[in-house]
Homo-oligomer: A and B are copies of this chain.
Amino acid sequence: MPKAQAKTHGSFPAPPMNERPPHRAARDDFRWDGVEMRPYKEDARALHKAITRQVLFSDPAMAGELRYFEVAPGGFSTLERHQHMHAVLILRGRGQCLVGDEVKTLETRDLVTVPPMTWHQFRATRDEPLGFLCMVDAQRDKPQLPEAEDVARLRRNPAVAAFLDGKPSA
């Protein structure tokens, strides 16, 4: 795949090095100096709820990017899959995730690896936000959304169905 095509819709040009100070202070409530809070998706077909994105590190000289996503209480990320991997560290709160056909309960600082082409979704608990760091390759493919048959296949597992319905069994 040509590089231009491989570049995700989810990225944007980083400021030139000489415009980015080496130190950017943390603000209250998991915001950062010089980091814009962005809407999560441009793809209107993607089903998600109450999630924001902040790109903490993205630089032409680095092969990886580090983003911070925050799901509000009761919210969830898009159910999707893609060739590129996700390396996730829970930075704030608690929740659950679906990776493949496994539903896992998440506590602060837990690590989640999303292998290539694996359906995944993150959900916050009802009482607090779920914030997580996500490392990805800067050059990466665009996420795929599930077809009805994909969702039907996932729902055959009762624990997965409960997760997708926002009624986690755990």
Q: Which of A25-77 contact B (CB under 8 A)?
A: 25-26, 30, 32, 35, 56-57, 59, 61-66
A164 contacts the other chain (CB 8 A): no
Q: A45 CB to closest chain B CB, in angstroms?
A: 26
A145 contacts the other chain (CB 8 A): no
When all copies of this chain in the complex are counted, the total is 2
A99 contacts the other chain (CB 8 A): yes
Whether A108 lies near B26 (C-beta < 8 A) is: yes
Whether B133 lies near A97 (C-beta < 8 A) is: no
Q: A10 CB to closest chain B CB, in angstroms?
A: 16
Bound-state CA distance A136–B64 (Å) is: 7
Whether A23 lies near B102 (C-beta < 8 A) is: yes
- B-contact 0/1 string along A108-128, CB 8 Å cutoff: 111111111010000000000
Whether B111 lies near A23 (C-beta < 8 A) is: yes
A22 contacts the other chain (CB 8 A): yes
**21 A-B interface contacts by CB (under 8 A):** A21-B113, A22-B100, A24-B112, A24-B113, A25-B110, A26-B108, A26-B109, A26-B111, A30-B109, A32-B109, A56-B87, A57-B87, A57-B111, A57-B135, A59-B85, A59-B113, A61-B85, A61-B115, A62-B87, A66-B87, A133-B133
